[in-house]
Structure 1
Amino acid sequence: MEPLWMPSEERIRNANITAFIQFVNKKYSLNLEGFQSLYQWSIDDRQDFWAAVWEFGQVLASQPYEKVLEESPTMIGAKWFVGSRLNFAENLLRFRDDRIALVFKGEDQETVRMSYAQLYDEVARMAKALREAGVVPGDRVAGYVPNMIQTVVAMLAATSMGAVWSSCSPDFDIKGVLDRFGQIAPKILFTADGYFYNGKSHDSLERISGILQQLPNIEKVVVIPYTRSREDIGAITNAVHYNDFIAKEQGLKIAFERLPFDHPLYIMYSSGTTGLPKCMVHGAGGTLIQYLKEHLLHVDLKREDKIYYFTTCGWMMWNWLVSGLAVGATLILFDGSPFYPDPGAIFQLAQDEKMTILGTSARYIASVEKVGLKPKEQYDLSSLRTICSTGSPLSEESFRFVYRDVKEDIDLASISGGTDLISCFALGCPILPVYEGELQCRGLGMKVEAYNFQGQSVVGQQGELVCSASFPSQPIYFWHDPEGTKYRAAYFGRFPNRWHHGDFIEITAHGGVKIFGRSDATLNPGGVRIGTAEIYRQVEAMEEISDSIVVGQDWDNDVRVLLFVKTAPNVEFNDALVNRIKKTIRENATPRHVPALILPVDDIPCTLNGKKVELAVRNIIEGKPVTNKDALANPNALDYFRNLSELKR
């Protein structure tokens, strides 16, 4: 296969990872050349590798580590950078100059900018206010907030004193918030008065009143003005306006709490589509060093960069994005619909802000192509050098679209990981070629393998994504799981002492990664494993199809493949379209990929982060309950799948 893109010699020469290879070679008297030799060394000598990341990334610590890794009989028991003490927020606030740290753009809102010096000052004032409110290390501070500057300030202020931050998007309804925050009992809650989406403002305060009735632990609600200048909050218990809460003094210094490497930093949540969300607790040090590795070496982030990721505060990509402060880059925050006021809104933002790194979802890229946008003809994207994509597998057609209609000289970095590790297993790399349908590489220091049915590591064959050695950003524990029972069941039940992630993948001969969808949604017609992504790639490349979802149904002691499609506007669903879909799949995949049934649907159910929920649809079809619809952006879309006559035996 010919690559779609090759990095220039200049780009390779100036990349952070090239400097890192030189640094490692000198420090350890090695002769590594290029990414593949670096990757092999990083998994063979993990302790030296992570020690090199610590030094190269200039981790700020009040006490150095005594030992890089204290291994354990189980991956869960591994301890990293034993003896060290640090503070996450201090590492993100190491720069305190006049360079712009944060740019915030909301729908139809004036752009707001904040320098690193201003950010430090505002965090210092907020930290003082939180201390005076009684926050101490280990307390939970929560955010029901848009992706805005005050959210970053609140997180940094909380974590500067060793409190644990947890956030969710303001489009969660009351039950969705309670399913999350109700488990962790936060002391302080930050909220905006509302948020904007698709040209409309949405109120958050009415929901806050309902949330507080069932969260008695909250001692203070800090309300950020956003959709209105100063809303009356008298009816909300213990509420105070942001500007009245934050300390008034200028020139304060932050008293950073330097705590052990594995001190709790974030509480993250599973999607919750099959039950109450799991509360995954991530440590400060592991999160920090993993993000330094990903930003510096895989994304090639530098101080002069301007990085954007379309995300809400309920998705781990928000946590990923804000850690770019540790490199000193400018972060571009956005609240609203990426299609408002038109499908080119994000590319307009990229042009206006001279964005260098643009992050989005595979779903967004496919949607932009569907509406016929050709960004390279309509916007000045000369500053843009990297596009990151995650959330679901990026189709081969979307790879071609980016190089054809967005920009030819671009590192298209499809990345994949999860909230579970608050980072990535597979990513981009600025010194590697881009191949159609592939993630460029496995993450440095991450021993990622594809396991077949027999638990053997295979290359060039499809298998289960397994990480067979410990890594720093594993959850330190699950909330309310003192014996680690839920933790072990989540990742270590399939392959003993191997992290089983639940993705169906192939590692290619040149070290790339192909992802075929979630393995728990993998189809098995006739005993042949088929990843759902293999079908999506064919169907969603068709102009007639707006979206789709594919599931397996138990049928006559086998599994039959069901495909539900949402047609594009003004496209009629009929036998001719069904035949075209089958022909496309048969010719571009295999006859086994052709669905037994293809049915029309008005909407495709997905999570708030845009991920299709095959398991929820399959449960509905099989008459099983879907226990947490609040994790879905459009829960009513599930109703269509109940009692379909075509699916009855």
Structure 2
Amino acid sequence: MPPLWKPSQERIDNANITRFIKIVNDKYKLDIKQYSELYQWSVTNRADFWAEVWEFGGVIASKPWEKVLEDSPSMIGAKWFLGARLNFAENLLRFRDNEIAIIFRGEGLPSTRITYAELYDNVARMAKSLRDAGVKTGDRVAGYVPNMTETIIAMLAATSIGAIWSSCSPDFGIKGVLDRFGQIEPKILFTANGYYYNGKAHDSLERISGILKELPSIEKVVVIPYTEERADISKVPNSVHYRDFISPAQGLEIEFEQLPFDHPLYIMYSSGTTGLPKCMVHGAGGTLMQHLKEHLLHVDLKREDNIYYFTTCGWMMWNWLASALAVGATVLLYDGSPFYPDSGAIFQLAEDEKMTIFGTSARYIAGVEKSGLKPGEKFDLSNLKTMCSTGSPLSEESFQFVYRDVKQDIDLASISGGTDIISCFALGCPILPVYEGELQCRGLGMKVEAYDFRGNSVIGQQGELVCSASFPCMPIYFWNDPDFSKYKKAYFDVYPNVWHHGDFIEITEHGGVKIFGRSDATLNPSGVRIGTAEIYRVVEAIEEISDSIVVGQNWENDVRVILFVKTAANAVLDDNLKNKIKKLIRENTTPRHVPALILPVSDIPCTLNGKKVELAVRNVLEGKPVTNKDALANPEALDQFANIPELS
């Protein structure tokens, strides 16, 4: 099929990646002309490639690296940029001028702005306050926060000290928060007094009080004003108002702790499929390098750009978006429903703030189309040059909608990666064409392949997404995993010393990537990874429920969560019980965990050692064969999942 879009020669000539190619050609006496050639060089010569990214991105370091890569027989053992000393926050705060750093708009509220000079000043004052509160290098600072300016300030202040930042969105219930923060034992917790969603203000302080009862490590709770100017925090132990906590001192200079390349920066969380969420620790240097590469070379981010991504602080896209500060672009933050007051809310933001890079989810794009809105007719999108989509595969219909009803001259960059790598395996490229249903390319420096069931690398057919060589943004370790057993099990159990990601993909003949969804049992509604164990922990504590199993069903270009329950004796799955289940799931996890359908079954299929078999159930629902019945204690239980009318 012909491409939906091709970049103009002017765009190609002015792209950052074109300048990067010239630098590489001149330095290494090469004649790279096409992206495919640059990609091949980047994965064949990884040390040279990443050294050039370091230079091109202008990494600020107090001590230069002595060796780019010390590879290892095990991918986990690879070491990057040995000897370097740097600070992540210092790299994001390299600009101190009067250009706009952040524009924040809360749902239904006017935009607020902060310059790079003001951002630096606020971070300096907050860093002093955190130091005065006893925060040291390696301590954890957590955020239960909306996506707002103060959250960025808190993260930068914490990481300037060398503390480790971890956050989740305020729609998480108490148990969901404790499942995460309870493992990492943060010293300081930032929160807002509430948040807005879909036209309503929601209180956060009551939940915070419940969280603190089970989180004794917290020494101070800093409450950001949002839904109220100065909320009553008297019932929140060890709490202080944000404006009372941040130092009033003026003209402070930040003491950026100079730390090794692999010093821990962020703790992110797995979906918790088989138990508590795994705590993935990402290093400062690897995160910085990967984000600089993606922003500069793949997104073509420049100082004059206004970049937006619809995200919460519990999704890695928030961390990714924050790194755009290192390029000096203006970061657009939005908190609330993207469909409030209507489906044009974010396009109105795009017009108002002259957005140039618009990041969102595949489900959002499909939702806008279903609403009947034609954004290109209603809004001035003349500044928009790139639209990124992630979370779930972008349908061919959505590709057509964007070019038909949003904008014809736009780089529609469908991207795919994960919390696991805090970035992308496959994404966009400003000098490549866009083909319907495809991600434009594999990421530079990422040796991404599709393996068939024999473990052979294949082109033009579906296979497992793997990465067969180490890369800087691999997690440095998992929290409370001293022997790396959880880490190895998560990615290296399927193919020895090859990262197995759990997606089905196809690498096309012209170098694009098609994503066919998750290949493991992780649920993925709206692109948000959800672990079945998080739902089980709530459902199976309900007196009327004996057992349950939850799966994702492909539905209308997305995934919907289907919960099957086996009721206890004398209990009936009526509307009252269904509503109770949904209410408890919503309160203890997030709204995205709430199942679309709850259906009764007489038995739950499990293995001989008692493990639920979500993949087997999903295969039955999709009419696919189940090949592991011999491993089941009750294989006959699978029969009841076939031909269910409610699922057709």
TM-score between the two structures when normalised by the length of structure 2 = 0.85
* Structure 2 match to 1:536: none
The number of residue pairs the alignment matches comes to: 569
Separation in 2 of the partners of 1:622 and 1:476? 43
* Structure 1 match to 2:578: none
Give how far 1:45 is off: 0.3
* Structure 2 match to 1:397: 397
After superposition, the C-alpha distances for 1:511-531 in whole angstroms (9 at most, x for unaligned) are: 000000111259xxxxxxxx9
After superposition, the C-alpha distances for 1:189-217 in whole angstroms (9 at most, x for unaligned) are: 00000000011000000000000000001
Residues 632 and 350 of structure 1: CA distance in aligned 2, closer, same or farther (over 3 Å): same
Which has the larger displacement, 257-266 or 513-522?
513-522
* Structure 2 match to 1:176: 176
Task: Judge conservation of contact 2:525–2:559 (CA < 8 Å) in 1.
Answer: no
Secondary structure in 2 aligned to 1:105?
A: strand
* Structure 1 match to 2:223: 223
* Structure 1 match to 2:413: 413
* Structure 2 match to 1:643: 601
Task: Judge conservation of contact 1:276–1:628 (CA < 8 Å) in 2.
Answer: no
Secondary structure in 1 aligned to 2:372?
A: coil
Secondary structure in 2 aligned to 1:449?
A: strand
Residues 268 and 75 of structure 1: CA distance in aligned 2, closer, same or farther (over 3 Å): same
Give how far 1:8 is off: 0.1
1:79 maps to amino acid = K
* Structure 2 match to 1:515: 515
Give how far 1:272 is off: 2.5
Separation in 1 of the partners of 2:17 and 2:211? 46
* Structure 2 match to 1:202: 202
Give how far 1:270 is off: 1.1
Residues 220 and 419 of structure 1: CA distance in aligned 2, closer, same or farther (over 3 Å): same
Separation in 2 of the partners of 1:331 and 1:292? 15
Alignment map for 1:539-558 (pairs within 5 Å)? none
* Structure 1 match to 2:447: 447
After superposition, the C-alpha distances for 1:133-166 in whole angstroms (9 at most, x for unaligned) are: 0000000000000000000000000000000000
Alignment map for 1:93-242 (pairs within 5 Å)? 93-242=93-242
* Structure 2 match to 1:254: 254
Alignment map for 1:520-539 (pairs within 5 Å)? 520=520
Separation in 2 of the partners of 1:402 and 1:490? 36
Give how far 1:356 is off: 0.2
Give how far 1:613 is off: 6.0
Alignment map for 1:313-352 (pairs within 5 Å)? 313-352=313-352
Secondary structure in 2 aligned to 1:641?
A: strand
1:492 aligns with 2:492: yes
* Structure 2 match to 1:558: none
Give how far 1:643 is off: 2.4
Residues 269 and 4 of structure 1: CA distance in aligned 2, closer, same or farther (over 3 Å): same
1:11 aligns with 2:3: no
Give how far 1:637 is off: 2.4
Separation in 2 of the partners of 1:475 and 1:564? 30
Task: Judge conservation of contact 1:198–1:341 (CA < 8 Å) in 2.
Answer: yes
Task: Judge conservation of contact 1:415–1:427 (CA < 8 Å) in 2.
Answer: yes
Give how far 1:648 is off: 5.6
Task: Judge conservation of contact 2:563–2:597 (CA < 8 Å) in 1.
Answer: no
1:35 aligns with 2:35: yes
Residues 430 and 634 of structure 1: CA distance in aligned 2, closer, same or farther (over 3 Å): closer
Give how far 1:564 is off: 7.7
Secondary structure in 1 aligned to 2:101?
A: strand
1:423 aligns with 2:423: yes
Task: Judge conservation of contact 1:275–1:628 (CA < 8 Å) in 2.
Answer: no
Separation in 1 of the partners of 2:602 and 2:413? 40
Alignment map for 1:370-389 (pairs within 5 Å)? 370-389=370-389
Alignment counterpart, residue 612 of structure 1, candidates 559, 573, 591? 559
Separation in 1 of the partners of 2:594 and 2:317? 26
1:61 maps to amino acid = A
Residues 245 and 19 of structure 1: CA distance in aligned 2, closer, same or farther (over 3 Å): same
Task: Judge conservation of contact 1:273–1:628 (CA < 8 Å) in 2.
Answer: no
Secondary structure in 2 aligned to 1:445?
A: coil
1:265 maps to amino acid = L
Task: Judge conservation of contact 1:400–1:436 (CA < 8 Å) in 2.
Answer: yes
* Structure 1 match to 2:469: 469
Secondary structure in 2 aligned to 1:637?
A: coil
Secondary structure in 1 aligned to 2:591?
A: coil
Give how far 1:111 is off: 1.1
Separation in 2 of the partners of 1:372 and 1:631? 32
* Structure 2 match to 1:279: 279
Secondary structure in 2 aligned to 1:332?
A: strand
Task: Judge conservation of contact 1:87–1:160 (CA < 8 Å) in 2.
Answer: yes
Percent identity at matched positions? 72
Residues 498 and 417 of structure 1: CA distance in aligned 2, closer, same or farther (over 3 Å): same
Secondary structure in 2 aligned to 1:612?
A: strand
Residues 112 and 631 of structure 1: CA distance in aligned 2, closer, same or farther (over 3 Å): same
Task: Judge conservation of contact 1:271–1:631 (CA < 8 Å) in 2.
Answer: no
Task: Judge conservation of contact 2:564–2:601 (CA < 8 Å) in 1.
Answer: no
Residues 403 and 188 of structure 1: CA distance in aligned 2, closer, same or farther (over 3 Å): same
Separation in 1 of the partners of 2:143 and 2:525? 35
* Structure 1 match to 2:533: none
Secondary structure in 2 aligned to 1:514?
A: strand
Task: Judge conservation of contact 1:464–1:504 (CA < 8 Å) in 2.
Answer: yes
Separation in 2 of the partners of 1:403 and 1:644? 48
Residues 94 and 459 of structure 1: CA distance in aligned 2, closer, same or farther (over 3 Å): same
Which has the larger displacement, 269-278 or 350-359?
269-278
* Structure 2 match to 1:542: none
* Structure 1 match to 2:572: none
After superposition, the C-alpha distances for 1:256-300 in whole angstroms (9 at most, x for unaligned) are: 001000000000001225431110000000000000000000000
Secondary structure in 2 aligned to 1:287?
A: helix
Give how far 1:620 is off: 5.7
Task: Judge conservation of contact 2:171–2:590 (CA < 8 Å) in 1.
Answer: no
1:184 maps to amino acid = I
Secondary structure in 2 aligned to 1:481?
A: coil
Moved over 3 A (4+): 561-566, 611-614, 617-623, 625-632, 644-649
Give how far 1:642 is off: 3.1
Give how far 1:176 is off: 0.5
Task: Judge conservation of contact 2:273–2:521 (CA < 8 Å) in 1.
Answer: no
Task: Judge conservation of contact 2:286–2:474 (CA < 8 Å) in 1.
Answer: yes
Give how far 1:463 is off: 0.3
2:462 maps to amino acid = Q
* Structure 1 match to 2:66: 66
Task: Judge conservation of contact 1:272–1:628 (CA < 8 Å) in 2.
Answer: no
Secondary structure in 2 aligned to 1:460?
A: coil
Give how far 1:250 is off: 0.8
Give how far 1:234 is off: 1.5
Residues 418 and 125 of structure 1: CA distance in aligned 2, closer, same or farther (over 3 Å): same
Task: Judge conservation of contact 1:425–1:443 (CA < 8 Å) in 2.
Answer: yes
Secondary structure in 1 aligned to 2:307?
A: strand
Task: Judge conservation of contact 1:272–1:631 (CA < 8 Å) in 2.
Answer: no
Give how far 1:628 is off: 8.6
Task: Judge conservation of contact 1:278–1:478 (CA < 8 Å) in 2.
Answer: yes
Secondary structure in 2 aligned to 1:417?
A: strand
For structure 1, the residue ranges without an aligned partner over 5 or more in a row are 523-530, 534-560, 567-603, 605-610
Separation in 1 of the partners of 2:350 and 2:641? 50
TM-score between the two structures when normalised by the length of structure 1 = 0.84
Residues 504 and 283 of structure 1: CA distance in aligned 2, closer, same or farther (over 3 Å): same
After superposition, the C-alpha distances for 1:332-357 in whole angstroms (9 at most, x for unaligned) are: 00010000011100000000000000
